[in-house]
């Protein structure tokens, strides 16, 4: 392994990142919302639903890194304004992806946490820029990335003076095609050995299958994750992106209940 | 996917396999023991320890498929006799690997469950032979195998008239090298959608790291596995094989306790 | 890497294996024939065609390791007899796969080279048995196998006293799905650094696409391979197995011509 | 596969991109130079050497996307000025990597071809920006990328009105660790079926081993590639980056000779 400096476990106590009421790295944080922001109504309705269900943060993409240039690329500024409204109404802090270093400073004014997506994990210009922003960063693992490479990307952010990095395991690419990616849950306790940074798990992108989200969320809790990030849409069948892996608000309520009870049990409070 | 016949979920209720007191596929089954049988003393001491800790079955290899021809290849018949003694003393049913179709019938007389290792998952002659044996079979996933291919290997056994197959996820090969393999826990709920066969998880071979065995065992429980198989050695530092991933009896006692409590909680009995 | 003894390059000059007129490891050897032996007519017609085109050895499977137990499993003894007739008529030595250690000694009486397929690369019982047979062995790389693991499988054969091992690169499994497997041509010069054994390439199974067989055969020549093994069928559209990757006799004639000319050029005789 | 529009083979004849004297996609183009620009002397000496040996374009990195933030990140503008001098003296057009969309327009003034590295293949902001630049773009394959995903990245560039895209296969990530990556040469003829864009091969990054560069370069020619890109350093042992896979000028002279002769032979002019 390459030498880690700022991210290495030995150098610091576990990092706790305060975002709104959530203390990421201490309690168990649930981040939820639509893959992409599509309209004001969709954003507000989903935000209300995930708030009511007990989510800690709202996620929603205004800039979408899509495989094809002809796919929906996100609403941009308009989408950020919908997220801002949703935050104002629900009080939920907002996580959104940023994909261009030129957008970092102004996008940071609209949201609480900036997400670096899997495809941009080694976009070093972007990493440096979000490092300068001072905002909490949710750094997804690249689908081809070793733990070592991933942590060095976090190191890019920390070395710019920003200590607020949340790692997000979202599945690696393997030969198995039943699931969209292969969720590497052993990364969770492995990272706990290597770094002081909090680790959350995204079972939605990892599996790409609705039926697997609950079992893999519970498994993430049991593996020691600090939180999960799941896709929720108020009307999944109408979603412009990832509809087939988005939970309904009803399914999300059930998920939150089971996840919270399991975590309380494991914390000795069950 | 290829068409599954006998292993497909739709054709049957969940399979429960009775081995000794264990009902694999119904309760939560813990299989434990040394990677390889090395001596009578080692086998008996480890068997007593795992029995006392609450294991349901004893595992131990008498025939070892080793990467190098110059590595220890197992004690063969002598090893089976040690396992037989351990069963007589502890009452634990025994699981052992068989690697040659010529050995199936006589090895089957010494043990309760025959294991097909990852490297032999597509050894079709061996699959047919264990299919004819009528014994319960623990079929490990090949390290390069899709769920579809794995289930078709189970189909080889079932189509010989043997319905007693236990699937064992033991990690797939990926680019990540921090762990020995990449444990694919999403295989557990995926298999529950595809087949009626029970599914156990081997965190020892999957991770190759002592420190990861407990978190991944708990995650396996949460993901819905029917059991775990773990390596335990009464003196890991003296093991001839896999010593660095073998639990001590003390660590195994703790693991069993946590695993059983979690399963009881998830069953609504916690 | 594990220590190689008998297969390591340093211990011996390049191995040359004489089979019929072919000197594998010295000239450029072309092995061709149907994936599976289906009938006497098919075997004889294809054998005549590949002989006429300039093949050095005939390949044909009588025992087929198939993913599904319900797929055609090969003709067994009957198939071997067809191959024997084809050899008698054309003079071509025969390569056939063996998948069960119990069959090695009698199958060896019908053919000239025994093939170990990718799925059986680490079937150590089978490796030991073919090691004892004294016959030349064509050892395919497992689809998940490192060079190190592959060479240790060759070491299993050599350590039984059989020095006649031909390595066959046939593609590894990756995430790419345009091709059936990913042909790892860099394995050819890598193996030339590591071992004295001859190396051939199977572009048919590696790519699974007719249109890629010629370019990848030429690339194999340029990379320094000692030969190729390709699927040819006198009527590909009627093949029971791999018909969509089998060359017609006409296409094979063209392939042989281009491959031989390229090799002659590279040998300084073009 | 996703629908390709502008990059699909059916939509256009083979694309030929004129850069200096080179007609990429028509003849065989050799791109050579150091991994990173380190000093004026190193750049000029290497440029002279590759020019003398018969290279068509000079490569050299001024912006280096490094795994660790503490590794040498490139000389930036100073490096571009050294490349400009090298071009002025040798007449070789220059290829350099760009990693930040904010740099595209001004970097484009110093060089002839902009390279998008493997880690930035799906950096869509950067792809759109180089699409707008109008410059020829060398687009490397991501180490986890399918052909489909790669071509859709080219589509991002073409859909901005820039038809000058050169695809560069540089190895994918697999489990094999003898080579740095696994060179997927079957991608070359596969891409020739799918797209009209030219395809070059980078054996230096793909293999990471000096001894494999010549055989894999020759194999690339035989597979139908339109060119190669190789690392050359006037003093490899002093290189700040990738020194162990950089050819000496002497070795490069030999490589160019063999590659050119092979291509002439295959073109029927040998």
* Chain A residues touching C175 at Cβ < 8 A: 173-175
Residue D263 has pLDDT above 70, yes or no: yes
Residue B206 with chain A: CB contacts under 8 Å:
186
Grade residue D16 by pLDDT with cuts at 50, 70 and 90: very high
Least CB–CB distance from C69: residue in B70, B120, B159: B159
Tell me the per-residue pLDDT of D228-252, one tens digit each, with 9 for 90 and over. 999 999 988 888 777 778 999 999 9
Q: What Cα–Cα distance (Å) separates residue B48 from each residue in A104, A216, B41, B60?
A: 61, 35, 11, 13
- Pick the range with the lowest mean pLDDT from B1-10, B110-119, B164-173, B185-194: B1-10
Chain mean position to CA D141: 10
* Two tokens, residue C90: 């054309």
In degrees and rounded to multiples of 5, residue C90 shows phi and psi of -100, -20
- Measure CA of the first residue to CA of the last residue in chain C; give whole Å: 39
Share of chain A above pLDDT 90, in %: 93
Summarize pLDDT for D60-113 with one digit per residue, the tens.
999 999 999 999 999 999 999 999 999 999 999 999 999 999 999 999 999 999
What is the number of CB-based contacts under 8 A between chain A and chain C? 6
Band (C46; pLDDT cuts 50, 70, 90): very high
Chosen for mutation from D143, D171, D175, D181 (greatest number of chain B CBs closer than 10 Å) is: D175
pLDDT in tens, C221-257: 999 999 999 999 998 888 877 777 899 999 999 999 9
Round to whole Å and give the CA distance between C179 and A98.
34
Share of chain B above pLDDT 70, in %: 99
Mutant choice from B119, B141, B184 vs C, greatest count of C C-beta within 10 A: B119
- CA nearest to A144, candidates D132, D75, D149: D149
Burial of A190 per CB tally in 10 Å (0-12, 13-18, 19+): buried
* Pair of tokens at residue C49: 């065609």
| Beta carbons within 8 Å of B158's beta carbon, 6+ residues apart | B6, B7, B131, B165
- Identify the pLDDT of residue D239: 80
Cβ–Cβ of A122/D119 closer than 8 Å?
Answer: yes
- Calculate how close chain D gets to A116, using CA atoms only, in Å: 11
Taking contacts as CB-CB distances below 8 angstroms, the residues of chain A near C177 are 177
Mean pLDDT of chain C: 95
Cβ–Cβ under 8 Å, residues C121 and C150: yes
Bridge partner list, B227 = B29, B200
* Region for C86 from its dihedrals, namely left if φ exceeds 0, alpha if ψ lies in -120 to 50, beta otherwise: alpha
Contacts of A177 in chain C (CB under 8 A): 177
CA D99, CA D113: separation in Å to the nearest integer? Answer: 13
For residue B64, give the nearest of B239, B220, B238 by alpha carbon.
B239
Backbone angles phi, psi at A145, to 5 degrees: -100, 135
Residue A20 clears pLDDT 80, i.e. is over it: yes
Q: Looking at the predicted structure, is the pLDDT value of residue A231 above 90?
A: yes
* Burial class of residue D44, CB neighbours in 10 A (0-12, 13-18, 19+): middle
Cβ–Cβ < 8 Å for A141, A187: yes
pLDDT at A11 over 80: no
Question: How far does A236 lie from chain D, in Å, by closest CA?
Answer: 22
Q: What is the secondary structure of B49-65 as a DSSP string?
A: HHHHHT-SEEE-BSS--
Q: With a cut of 60, say whether residue C1 has pLDDT above it.
A: no
Q: Are A111 and A104 in contact (CB under 8 A)?
A: no
Nearest C-alpha of chain A: how many angstroms from B55?
21
Q: Domains in chain B, please, with CATH?
A: 9-263 (3.20.20.70)
Segment holding B212, helix H or strand E: helix B210-223
Query: Is the per-residue pLDDT at A270 higher than 90?
Result: no
How confident is residue B43, by pLDDT bands cut at 50, 70 and 90? Answer: very high
Q: Is residue A240 over pLDDT 90?
A: no
SS3 at position C59:
strand
Q: Enumerate the residues of chain D whose CB falls inside 8 A of the CB of residue A173.
A: 144
Asked whether D147 and D116 are in contact (CB, 8 A), the reply is: no
| pLDDT confidence of residue B270 | 59
Coil vs helix vs strand at B119: helix
Calculate the CA dihedral of residues C200, C205, C206, C211 and round it to 10 degrees.
110
| Phi and psi angles of residue B17, each rounded to the nearest 5 degrees, phi first | -115, 115
The B-side interface with A (CB below 8 A) comprises: 144, 146-148, 172, 174-179, 182-190, 193, 206-207, 209, 211-212, 215-216, 218-224, 262, 265-266, 270
Cα separation, C181 vs C162, in Å, equals 30
What's the confidence (pLDDT) of residue D260? 98
Each residue's pLDDT tens digit, A46-97: 999 999 999 999 999 999 999 999 999 999 999 999 999 999 999 999 999 9
CB C191 within 8 A of CB C205: no
Chain C residues with beta carbon closer than 8 angstroms to that of A171: none
Residue of chain C with shortest Cα separation from D182: C184
| B262 interaction partners in chain A (CB closer than 8 Å) | 222, 265-266
Tell me the pTM.
0.97
Residue A1 has pLDDT above 60, yes or no: no
pLDDT (tens digit, 9 = 90+) per residue, D163-202? 999 999 999 999 999 999 999 999 999 999 999 999 999 9
Instruction: Give the pLDDT confidence of A133-188 residue by residue, as tens digits.
Output: 999 999 999 999 999 999 999 999 999 999 999 999 999 999 999 999 999 999 99
Contacting residues for A241 by C-beta, under 8 A, at least 6 apart: A35, A36, A61, A64, A66, A71, A72
Kind and range of the H or E run holding D153: helix D147-158
Could you give the CA distance from residue C169 to residue C185 in angstroms, rounded to a whole number? 8
CA distance D131 to chain A (A): 12
Q: Is ipTM beyond 0.90?
A: yes
Local structure of residue C114 (DSSP, 8 states): E
The string of pLDDT tens digits covering residues C94-146 is 999 999 999 999 999 999 999 999 999 999 999 999 999 999 999 999 999 99
pLDDT score recorded for residue C240: 78
Entry field: residues in chain D:
270
Going from the C-alpha of B257 to that of each of B93, B203, B233, C49, D183, the distances in angstroms are 21, 16, 18, 68, 48
Kindly tell me the burial class for residue B106, based on how many C-beta atoms sit within 10 Å of its own C-beta (0-12, 13-18, 19 or more). Answer: exposed
Query: Which residue of chain A comes nearest to C174, CA vs CA?
Result: A175
Distance, C-alpha A147 to centroid of its chain: 17
Those chains having 3 or more beta-carbon pairs within 8 angstroms of chain B are: A, C, D
């Amino acid at each position: 392994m390459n030498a880690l400096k700022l991210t290495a476990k030995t150098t610091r106590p576990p990092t706790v990142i305060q975002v709104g009421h959530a203390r990421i790295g201490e309690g168990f944080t649930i981040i939820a919302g639509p893959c992409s922001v599509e309209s004001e109504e969709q954003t507000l309705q989903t935000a209300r639903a995930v708030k009511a269900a007990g989510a800690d943060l709202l996620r929603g993409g205004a800039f979408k890194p899509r495989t094809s240039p002809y796919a929906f690329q996100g609403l941009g500024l308009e989408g950020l304004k919908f997220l801002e409204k949703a935050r104002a109404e629900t009080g939920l802090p907002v996580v959104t992806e940023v994909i261009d270093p030129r957008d970092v400073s102004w996008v940071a004014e609209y949201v609480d946490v900036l997400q670096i997506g899997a495809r941009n994990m080694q976009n070093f210009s972007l990493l440096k820029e979000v490092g300068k922003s001072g905002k909490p960063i949710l750094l997804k693992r690249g689908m081809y990335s070793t733990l070592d490479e991933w942590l060095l990307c976090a190191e890019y952010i920390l070395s710019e003076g920003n200590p607020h990095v949340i790692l997000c395991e979202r599945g690696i690419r393997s030969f198995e095609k039943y699931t969209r990616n292969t969720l590497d849950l052993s990364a969770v306790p492995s990272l706990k050995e290597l770094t002081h940074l909090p680790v959350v798990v995204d079972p939605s992108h990892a599996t790409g299958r609705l039926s697997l989200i609950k079992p893999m969320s519970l498994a993430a809790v049991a593996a020691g994750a600090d939180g999960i990030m799941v896709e929720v849409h108020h009307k999944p069948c109408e979603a412009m992106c990832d509809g087939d892996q988005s939970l309904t608000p009803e399914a999300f309520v059930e998920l939150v209940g089971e996840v919270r009870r399991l975590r309380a049990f494991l914390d000795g409070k069950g």
